[in-house]
Amino acid sequence: MTRKSLTYLSILLLAGMALAEETAFVAIPAMKPPELDGVIAAGEWDSAATGSFREINKWDVPAQPTTWYAGCDRDNLYFAFHCTESDVPSMHKQYAHAEERDSSIFTDDCLEIFLEPYGSEKSGIFHFAVNANGIIYDAYDGDISFQSGLKVACKVESESWTMEAQIPLMDLGVTPKGAELLRINLGRERQGAPKPEYSCLGQGTGGFASQDRLVLCRPMPDGDELPPVTFLALGAPLQPEMRFANTDKDDQKTYRVAVATFDKDNNKLRDFEATTTPGQETKLAYRANGMSAVASCKYSVYAPDAPDRPVYSNMFAFPGDAKEKRLLAMKIDRPLFQELLSEEYPPQRDFHGFQWIFGAGNAGNMQLFALQNALPYSNYDIAREHKDTGMANYANVHMINWLNEQLYCQELGTPIASMPRVLGKDIKSGLSFHLVIIPEIRELWLKDVKTIAESGARLLVWGDEIAEVLESQLISEFQRVPDNQALQELDAKIKAKYGQGKYGILKSVEEKDPLAWIAFRRTLNDELVSLFREAYQLAKSINPDIIVVSDDSVGNEHKMYAFSDWQGTFDIVTQQLYPRSDPNVDSFGFITRYLATLTGAREVWPCPHVEEYGASFTPQEVLYKLSAAVRSGATGFHYYLHDTKGTHNYKKYLCHERWGAPDRYAVEIGAQKLLARMPRLAFPPYDTAVFTATDSLRAIPGLMFRQRAEQDTCLHGFLAYGAGVSYRFLNELTLDNLAPYKLIVTVENTYVSREALDALKEYVRGGGNLLVLNPNAFASTPEGLDQSAPAQALLGAKATGFSDAPLHFTYGGQKVPVSAIRCPKLEPLPGAKVLAVFANGDPALVEMAHGQGKVFTLAANPCVSKLANHPDWKQFFLAFCADCGSRTQCDFWRFQLPDFLLPKPEHFQGKCLTNNFVKWEHFTPTTPCDDEVNGSYVLEPEPNHSPDIRSGQIPFSEGKLTDRPRAVMAASACKNQSSWRDWAVSWKDIPGPVSIKCNWSAPRAIRQVRLFVTDTWLDAKLTIGGQSFDFPCPEDFNKDPISVREVTLDLPAPVQATSLDIIIGNDSDKMRLTIAEMEIWTE
């Protein structure tokens, strides 16, 4: 080994690298893992590399400086940033929820990390972005289906904000041990006034991710011992070539480098080797020469005096081909529909589901929206459309009268769904209205329940994200008013009930003690369940027919609710389903099955976020995602269709799915209507289960809004789409009868009560099979008592460090890869059997018999995003479940809603001469009917209330009457970011008539004119090609003058012409007319 100081490394000279003293190079020192709390504590980052950013263009010191820190250990890269910020209140922080992962985080004030670990311009770059709310974006080579194990913590102060990050090296495919060089850039985007400022680490040209800006860095081994050979580049699938050299330029030894290549199934392909030459760079190509593509490599360095024993070895794996992952939803092979239906039909009601009311009702506000986008809008028509969807209209208790008056619910017979909403003005203590378990607010909340039950509303919904908001607001309110008596009483209650006398209301959202979170969340769960139970009884006593729907919590595996204690609090359960852009992860199906099986509910109506919610799904992808929920137990849906493009910056803002994604909306409503009338799926009895310790989830630090658990989500994929078993979830409250289950699998299980552990032991003794994917399972009680000894006795093994280069193991003749994960090194206990070993000989699967059953402990935990839906792991679970006696490959996992729900392609007749027709497809405006003709128009008289851009001749490409392609991309008028006058012309109280004289450059056969108008429309005349055509105003057309209406002037036959005149009204009319848009259509 070569011993060199960090000072030497900073000016490292390697032959052939062109790496000189003036070239940027970062040695990333080994360091103790920091506490990820967003605080750069004194001494915590002292051993890290550090520096400051420069402004990206002029390379000056930025107006808002940023200090960066970087360190590493064997498993992770660590980064910290301190960002000076002179205007904290104006920071862009539009993304605030964990489900917004992989949104355009880089449009916020954010920090970015770019990593290229292979040293090749032909390999992709890992891109991480984090805003000040701690919401992340991670992608490989631009593909957001890449899901990393990135962990972050942010803290915003009065004049700065900080971020700490941990990136697992495994996610990069390379785990450096000191010999590897990576390329890196770090950057900060500040979006504030007076103008944005971009600063970064790497000097060069182009953006942050430019190859020119990537800086060489070396993650250092523990201490400063360097391997004798440095790997300058590892290569890429399109450039399979390693480059390496002696680390010490003065080292005159010749080292042999051996490389073994493997395919994606870990089958060995070929061996290669080369030797170093002192003072020079060596290149070694490892092409597969027509065989399977190289997916991973193991490389070893041999010293001349020890040719048979490597002085250094490591391995790397290329990420999968991200370019192949274009589908954003899981697609099922050989889908089934009719064959899987039972003879049981859903309850017969006049509605089936409910939807939040957005993009409706507010006539004045929606008129501004419709004028800008030139879309027909009528309050009454929208209300009828809502009725026709077969869903109830959903709003809070204070909007029930508004629903009846503005959306005509009473007149049309549209059902109402309502939730309690305590008003802040009624809370005398001044506490947040979200604290529904505080006696004063609880009483007001129950009063709202009573009002809803008496109102005639058909559904009573407990609320939206009650638990999550309660958690965060309790912490912040206790910080704000620690002397409040009600909060002090709750604090004492938590300490007395679960907190062991010391854990109460958390002092900070940065609390790291898992026992504190367990005590806090246990108590909040109990209090909320008690409230829901009392409210259910109250509502039913007033209106026995009212249907009660559960809290609509966030779409992650819940870290407070146990769910299995909800009996007597609901008729229908719901939970949000957050979308994932990874086609290998079925988050919709997982959450639905978790909710359905733990609550035991017969009716499950989740809220699938298939609208513009962090991703833009096609209608086909929506069909796949909704199908995933149904095959896991959903019997209906409710929708929140307000999330659209432009929700944050109000540009290209379309209020609702109906206008921005009509193709997708058709699938959403069609699926809901189908579920209302089709028989339910036929599910076989459960013979497999997943045990998840609720307290292990409660122990996860951090607000529920900001993080999500991953392991059970991935396990769901293996059991559903690999093994195909009929399984359910169990927790500590549902272990009374385990006899029906051939197999129980568990991964979320660190904090488990002794009673639960004993129940699992008895299950095994009675003949059950328990598969444990966490060798540290059951290590502690929720009170923090160590129970590792009985846990290890149950497992038959204990973890002793980590296995080095395990590569794979074999089960049932099938090779199962583990190179993407860290695997604990298992030490079997007396009486245990080793069923499978890794390639290095370490135990991979250990069996321990107890009574008539067995416990199986797997050293490799595949429940990580990067292995989700991996075919070899799916095969392992299929074989293992079958070996345990579970029924596998159940057909219901192939259920898919039928393709007839997909909208048919639209075919447009003719061309739009004015080049302003816009068709929306999942919030993307398209112009499929443009005609390549120049034209213009003249308005007489000129509009006096809202004039056009100028007088006289106005080109189609510039005028307000033909500006829809520009208007739809602009700042929103209905959100006061622009004015309706920017997009429409208007005459007010002037003598008629009004004329629009149009002409264009080449003859066209004109068949139709469309105008989008509000105020008062009158009789019209169209003069074209020497002919005149009259169009009387239809009866009742002006019944609702505030609406935006489409006027269609159809010619009896196409007329060839280069001009036309539209005359509206006559000499005796007093004009009050607004025109948002005009379209002229050819044959």
Q: In angstroms, how far is CA 124 from the centroid of its own chain?
A: 22
H helix or E strand, kind and range, residue 1075: strand 1070-1082
CB 4 within 8 Å of CB 250: no
Q: Is residue 583 in a domain?
A: no
Task: For residue 367, give the 3-state DSSP assignment.
Answer: helix
Tokens of 973: 């008028």
CB burial of 219-235 (b: ≥16 within 10 Å; e: otherwise) equals bbbeebebbbbbbbbbb
Closest to 91 (Cα-Cα) out of 196, 13, 19: 196
Regarding whether 943 and 813 lie in a shared domain, the answer is no
Q: Is residue 333 in a domain?
A: no
Tokens of 381: 């028509």
- Residue 741, class by beta-carbon neighbours within 10 Å (0-12 exposed, 13-18 middle, 19+ buried)? buried
CB 37 within 8 Å of CB 512: yes
CB atoms within 10 A of CB 720: 26
Q: Is residue 782 in a domain?
A: yes
- In DSSP notation, 617-676 reads --HHHHHHHHHHHHHTT----EE-----TTTTT-BS--SSHHHH-HHHHHHHHHHHHHHH
What's the rounded Cα separation, in Å, for the pair 315 and 895?
A: 41
Helix locations, 184-231, DSSP H: none
What's the rounded Cα separation, in Å, for the pair 1064 and 1042?
A: 19
What's the rounded Cα separation, in Å, for the pair 903 and 954?
A: 38
Regarding whether 699 and 793 lie in a shared domain, the answer is yes
* CATH number of the domain encompassing residue 201: 2.60.40.1190
Q: At what angle do helices 466-480 and 514-542 cross, to 10 degrees?
A: 120
Regarding whether 763 and 808 lie in a shared domain, the answer is yes
Write phi, then psi, for 880 (nearest 5 degrees). Answer: -70, -45
CA separation (Å) from 390 to 670, 870, 898?
A: 10, 40, 19
CA separation (Å) from 749 to 48, 124, 669, 745, 782?
A: 34, 36, 39, 10, 11
Write phi, then psi, for 780 (nearest 5 degrees). Answer: -145, 150
Regarding whether 94 and 6 lie in a shared domain, the answer is yes
Q: Please identify every stretch of the chain with a pLDDT value under 50, giving residue numbers as ranges.
A: 1-23, 321-325
Q: In angstroms, how far is CA 874 from the centroid of its own chain?
A: 24
Residues 6+ apart with CB under 8 A from 376: 370, 1012, 1043, 1044, 1045, 1046
Question: Which of 296, 324, 352 finishes a domain?
Answer: 324
Residue with tokens 């854990």: 503
Q: Is residue 512 in a domain?
A: no
Question: Which of 200, 225, 250 finishes a domain?
Answer: 225
Torsion of CA 77, 83, 89, 93, to 10 degrees: -30
**DSSP letter assigned to residue 387:** H
CB 538 within 8 Å of CB 549: no
**DSSP letter assigned to residue 953:** -
Regarding whether 138 and 25 lie in a shared domain, the answer is yes
* CATH number of the domain encompassing residue 708: 3.40.50.880
Residues 6+ apart with CB under 8 A from 611: 639, 640, 641, 642, 643, 644, 657, 661, 664
Helices (H) then strands (E): counts for the chain: 19, 51
What's the rounded Cα separation, in Å, for the pair 337 and 675?
A: 12
What's the rounded Cα separation, in Å, for the pair 212 and 200?
A: 13
Question: What is the CB-side half-sphere exposure of residue 1075 using CA atoms within 13 A?
Answer: 26
Q: Is residue 122 in a domain?
A: yes
Residue with tokens 């679960």: 498
Task: For residue 444, give the 3-state DSSP assignment.
Answer: helix
pLDDT at 614: 66
Question: What is the CB-side half-sphere exposure of residue 1011 using CA atoms within 13 A?
Answer: 23
Could you list the residue range(s) of the whole structural domain that residue 714 is in?
688-894
Q: Is residue 344 in a domain?
A: no
Q: Is residue 781 in a domain?
A: yes
pLDDT at 649: 64
Regarding whether 741 and 792 lie in a shared domain, the answer is yes
CB 551 within 8 Å of CB 462: yes
Residues 6+ apart with CB under 8 A from 600: 564, 567
Residues 6+ apart with CB under 8 A from 990: 941, 944, 1070, 1071
Strands 215-219, 182-190: pairing kind: antiparallel
Regarding whether 144 and 183 lie in a shared domain, the answer is yes
- Residue 762, class by beta-carbon neighbours within 10 Å (0-12 exposed, 13-18 middle, 19+ buried)? middle
pLDDT digits (tens, 9 = 90+) for 686-704: 999 999 999 999 999 988 8
- In DSSP notation, 775-821 reads TTTT-B-TT--B-HHHHHHHHTEEEEEE-SS--EEEETTEEEE-TTS
pLDDT digits (tens, 9 = 90+) for 999-1018: 999 999 999 999 999 999 99
What's the rounded Cα separation, in Å, for the pair 539 and 667?
A: 34
**DSSP letter assigned to residue 180:** B
pLDDT at 922: 75
Write phi, then psi, for 82 (nearest 5 degrees). Answer: -115, 115
What's the rounded Cα separation, in Å, for the pair 150 and 140?
A: 13
Regarding whether 111 and 32 lie in a shared domain, the answer is yes
Regarding whether 208 and 250 lie in a shared domain, the answer is no
Look at the chain and report how many structural domains it folds into. 4
pLDDT at 648: 63
Regarding whether 805 and 946 lie in a shared domain, the answer is no
pTM (two decimals): 0.80
Residue with tokens 């008596």: 485
What's the rounded Cα separation, in Å, for the pair 893 and 478?
A: 47
Tokens of 389: 């969807």
Task: For residue 752, give the 3-state DSSP assignment.
Answer: coil
Q: Is residue 764 in a domain?
A: yes
Write phi, then psi, for 1030 (nearest 5 degrees). Answer: -100, 145
What's the rounded Cα separation, in Å, for the pair 1057 and 646?
A: 40
Residues 6+ apart with CB under 8 A from 290: none
Regarding whether 23 and 130 lie in a shared domain, the answer is yes
Tokens of 945: 């209330």
Regarding whether 795 and 719 lie in a shared domain, the answer is yes
Residues 6+ apart with CB under 8 A from 248: 2, 4, 228
Question: Which of 271, 298, 324 finishes a domain?
Answer: 324
